[in-house]
Structure 1
Amino acid sequence: MNILDAAYNTVHDYQGGANALAPRMGIKSPAVLNSKVNPNTETHHINLLEASKLMELTGDYRILQRLNAHHGKVAINLPSIPECRDTALTDLVLNFGMGGGDIYALFKEMMADGRITRGEAIDMSRVIHSLHEILAELEMQINKCVEQ
């Protein structure tokens, strides 16, 4: 499935389809929404804000998943910590996720020729060290939330 198919399926698999979603998205006509997600339509296109709203309303994240897959990335659910609404926690989790993506790309590149050089090992050590720092800070912040 590609990104356009994901948008089409998100609308058409939703209970009530475009008829139910168009008014909730602020789109005047279900036909317009259908055109926007139709991969064969050249004149109407769903924009980023509409795609985001569509995912929010439906709880269907196939568009996001296909975008990530297209770019070799993944999305993770952020933890819900109702006792502590500190945005620093969210930032730390996102930083770790982004750093984790770097380690996967670096590992793939490092293993491409079937051997590991001294320079590649040093580069990997730097990324691992950075992730250790992020995890240590995350642990500290989580423990602060519990103590409050």
Structure 2
Amino acid sequence: MGAQVLNNKLNPNYEPDCLNLIQFEAIVRRLDLNFELAKYFAAKANAIVVSLPAVPESDMALLDDFMNIARELGETSQRFQAGFADGVITQAEYLQISKEVHDTVAALLQFEQSVARVVR
């Protein structure tokens, strides 16, 4: 698809050649924008998008994933307690807390995927 054709498809005043869903998906795939687009629409829905990690293949890895939840939650708790010790959370402290929260959510999702692997 050339630049002029793409411009025509994105031009709301040029209805004969509007972008269709198949073409839109091809553009998103070619530009590798699936994750960014998912985050954009999730934000509009007051939601978040988390990349799912690869699922480990061993039972010991399943136990490690379970224990990782407690470790990540502990780190989140430490960041929150340190940030809120003076009764005020600064922007920098919030960013650290937010990162830990995301790490905790990722650990939970990792565990969920690991459990799903062993379901019979």
* TM-score normalised to structure 2 length: 0.49
* TM-score normalised to structure 1 length: 0.40
